[in-house]
Each structure stands twice: as C-alpha cells, then as structure tokens.
Amino acid sequence: AENQGINEMPPIDHKELGCHLFDFLFAAQDASTSSLLWAITLLDSHPDILQRVRSEVTNIWNPESDEPITADQIREMKFTAAVAREVVRIRAPATMVPHIAGEDFPLTENYIIPKGTIVFPSVFDSSFQGFTKPERFDPDRFMEGRQEDQIYKRNFLAFGAGAHQCVGQRYAINHLVLFIAMFSTLIDFKRERVDGCDDIAYVPTIVPKDDCRVFLTQRCTRFPSLS
C-alpha cells in the first residue's frame, strides 16, 4: 500500500471481514491438523528419522524437567525444523490455492492469461519439481549443507510466494516443530497400517485415507506439568 501511495486503508464491509476471518480459522485449524497427521504418519514409516529427532530434542530439552520448550530451544532444533518443512513440502495441506489475475499475464509466447481469470496453481505438484528425489521423505534437503529450499525456492509454494505469502508461515512451522519435538519424546506410537492407509483423502485439505489411527504409550517416566 505504501509503495502505491495509499496512506489509509479502504473501508471493509462485513462480508469481506468475515472472509478474512474464515481464512485465518481455516488455516489455523484444517491446514495445521493436516500437517500434524502427516508428521505422525511419516515419522512412523521412517524410524531412522524419528530417532534423529528424539536425539536432537533430548539433547536440547529435558522432557521431565517441567519446563516448557523455549523459543531459543526451538531455534536450536535444526533437524526437527527440517522435518517440519519436509512434511509441509511432501504433503502440502492445501494442494491448490486460487488466485485472480490482476492484469493480463503472458504465460507463454502464445498464451496470455486475461485479467480477472481465476487461476488454480498446483502447490502439491510444484513440490515434486526441482527437488532431489522429490518423492522421497528427506528432511536433510533443508539442512545447511544442501539448502534445497533456497535452490528450489520457486517450487516450495506451500505458503505461497511473493507479497501474498501466508502471514502465518512462521507460526505454522514453529507449531509443527513444537508438536514433533514433544510428541516424539513424550510418546511411543505405532500406526495401525492397512492397505491404502497412505493414500490421500481430500477433506478439503489432505489427510491420510485411514485418518491415521495410532496406538500410544507413555515414553517418559512421567509427563511434564508445563504449568
């Protein structure tokens, strides 16, 4: 707005305000829940990665300390953060995010998207382009040695791109890192695997077809109170 010389926000009617509130509620609930389910699913099927998460987290935070995980500790959990980002890459909660073309846009030499056209770019499909062995669950692609999130930045679109990136991106990743860290260290879990359980169901975010049924047992001596 500042770049366009707009000093005051235009008035917003109740319908538009309601749409904005719905966007926030949907992103905070459905999209986050989708990522939590896929995190459990992918860690269960990759025990080596689960063990690395547990090792990193317990070196930084004592699950039986009754102390919450701090922001500084979250920043130290580099591999756990890479796991969270890989979960979002390989199973982007919103597979398509509609946009309206603000002006005529030349997509190719022979085709122009007319202004006002509703475009549905495939966030899911873009996540499988460019990246090394994109179909493989490989959190190390986001570690400092490889930095594929920077090399293939144009393909990592789970949170959008440019001026209209998701405003809750950092919150969503921190939420997922915190969940993975605590769930992995406090709980032993085993998924009930059946035929087709890893297939994708659209509800409208994506979730495991079997709703990710898992059996839980307490891993630590006692749960922290965190009060």
Give binding residues as ranges.
166
Find out whether 64 and 224 touch, Cβ atoms under 8 Å.
yes
Question: What contacts 148, CB < 8 A, 6 or more positions away?
Answer: 131, 132, 141, 142
Tokens of 187: 């709980």
Find out whether 180 and 80 touch, Cβ atoms under 8 Å.
yes
- Summarize the annotated binding site for heme as residue ranges: 166
Tokens of 58: 């317990």
Residue keyed to tokens 């538009």: 16
Question: What contacts 223, CB < 8 A, 6 or more positions away?
Answer: 186
Find out whether 80 and 177 touch, Cβ atoms under 8 Å.
yes
Which run of H or of E encompasses 117? none
